[in-house]
Homo-oligomer: A and B are copies of this chain.
Amino acid sequence: MAVTLREVADRAGVSRSAVSRTFTEGASVSAKTRAKVEKAALELGYSPNALASSLTTGRTKLIGLISNNFHNPLFLEVFDLFTRGLQDRGLRPLLVNLSNETDPENSVRMLRQYSVDGVIVASSTLPPSFAEAFKQAGVPVVHSFGRFSTSPNVHVVGIDNVACGRMAAEALIARGYTRVAFLGGPEKATSTQDRALGFFGALREHPEIEVSISYASAYSFDAGRVEMTKLLMAGPAEAYFCGDDVLSIGALSAIEEAGLSCPGDIGIIGLNDMDMARWQNIDLTTIRQPVAEIIRASIDLVIGTIEHPDRHPETRLFPCRVIERGTLRPVQQGAA
């Protein structure tokens, strides 16, 4: 069905090597043969079979893009940026959905079968061992949105969740709240653990502030709503740092439903700054994750590792910042 190298060679009256070389960057072909080949190729509608060539070159230009975050609106943007970023650099994302999977074995095997040049694990909830399994198998890998580590086994790109927790605490302190709380995601998620660490760390220096913690069962609207409803019954804090934006919006919904207002009665600060946070009927004060930078760095890093396989594992963390919107009262004059 498809046109092959050989047919082009025959029509152009040259050897197969000549055709191959015309389509290979930096190979030695005279202008004359190149012209003949290009003419024949054009007439036949030939384009080289990337998979066949990968057999000898060892490069497929395929990158495994693995995620299990198909319910977090932020990740639509993540997929958009990853696919665009990869294709701008001549690479193709092979998408793997890990929603039900926890064992890396299968994914590793599958992606090796397709000889991907590298793998990007884009997930805030998968454990580090997942990415490490690829490294183990000799596949260049970077874990995006992964957990910070001082001695990483694989490349990690993301944000400093501990610093974010601290930042959230400081934002609440600066606004003069005296009873604050962390409403985390699942207790076992490393991102939740780290954010809690930073949050409580910063508040330890303010013993006058009362602080508490609870966990939602997932990073989801429903979980946030359910948890906040419970908290409202039990007597809520003045302000909450929520594990992420969608959780925050669930909490907001519960607060409104209870006839309370935000920030009048309760303050909320989220994390991520996903698209919906800026919607005026949500208007969520939150901490922005620099998604574009994280993705750019992830792509750079995976390409770098493909070129230099035994490059040292690296952690790249990007700074976040508070995006001031309407769910926290203004900074108090004369506060810390």
A100's nearest neighbour on chain B, judged by CB, is B84
- B-chain residues with CB within 8 Å of residue A113 when the two chains form the complex: 47-51
B residues near A73, Cβ cutoff 8 Å: 73, 76, 275-276
> Within the assembled complex, what's the spacing in Å between the Cα atoms of A176 and B126?
51
Assess whether A52 is interfacial by the CB under 8 Å rule.
Answer: yes
Asked whether A279 lies within 8 Å of B221 as measured between CB atoms, the reply is: yes
Beyond A253-B279, A281-B256, whether A1 also contacts B51 by CB under 8 A is: no
What's the minimum C-beta distance from A168 to chain B, rounded to whole angstroms? 22
Interface string of A246-278 (1 = CB under 8 A from B): 000110110011000000000000000001100
Is A305 an interface residue when CB atoms closer than 8 A count as contact? no
Question: What is the CB-to-nearest-CB distance from A294 to chain B, in angstroms, rounded to a whole number?
Answer: 17
What sequence of 0s and 1s flags, for each residue 81-116 of chain A, a beta carbon within 8 Å of any chain B beta carbon?
001100100001111110100000000011011110
List, in ascending order, chain B residues with CB within 8 A of A279's CB: 221, 249-250, 253
Say whether A205 faces chain B, with CB atoms less than 8 Å apart.
no
In the complex, which residue of chain B has the Cβ closest to the Cβ of A85? B97
Report the copy number of this chain in the oligomer. Answer: 2
Q: Is residue A318 within 8 Å, beta carbon to beta carbon, of the partner chain?
A: no
Q: State A124–B73 Cα separation when bound (angstroms).
A: 19
A138 beta carbon closer than 8 Å to chain B? yes
- CB contacts (< 8 Å) of A129 on chain B: these are none
Chain B, residue nearest A67 (CB): B83
Q: Are B65 and A70 in contact (CB under 8 A)?
A: no
Answer whether A109 and B76 are a contact pair too, CB < 8 Å, given A95-B83, A97-B87, A281-B249: no
List the B side residues contacting A275 at CB < 8 Å: 71, 73, 221
Restricting to A115-137, which residues have a CB under 8 Å from any CB of B? 115
Contact in complex: A97, B76 (CB < 8 Å) = no
Q: Is the CB of B55 within 8 A of A112?
A: no
B residues near A84, Cβ cutoff 8 Å: 97, 99
Q: A42-75, CB under 8 A of B: which get 1 and which 0?
A: 0000011111101100001010010000110101
Residue with the highest number of chain B CB atoms closer than 10 Å, among A70, A75, A97: A97
Asked if B115 and A49 make an inter-chain contact with CB atoms under 8 angstroms apart, the answer reads yes
Q: Which residue of B lies closest to A87 (CB)?
A: B97
Tell me whether A25 is interfacial, beta carbon within 8 Å: no
6 contacts between A and B (CB under 8 A): A49-B113, A80-B99, A92-B95, A253-B281, A257-B281, A276-B276
Residues of chain A touching chain B, judged by Cβ–Cβ distance below 8 Å, are: 1-2, 47-52, 54-55, 60, 62, 65, 70-71, 73, 75-77, 79-80, 83-84, 87, 92-97, 99, 109-110, 112-115, 138, 221, 225, 249-250, 252-253, 256-257, 275-276, 279-282
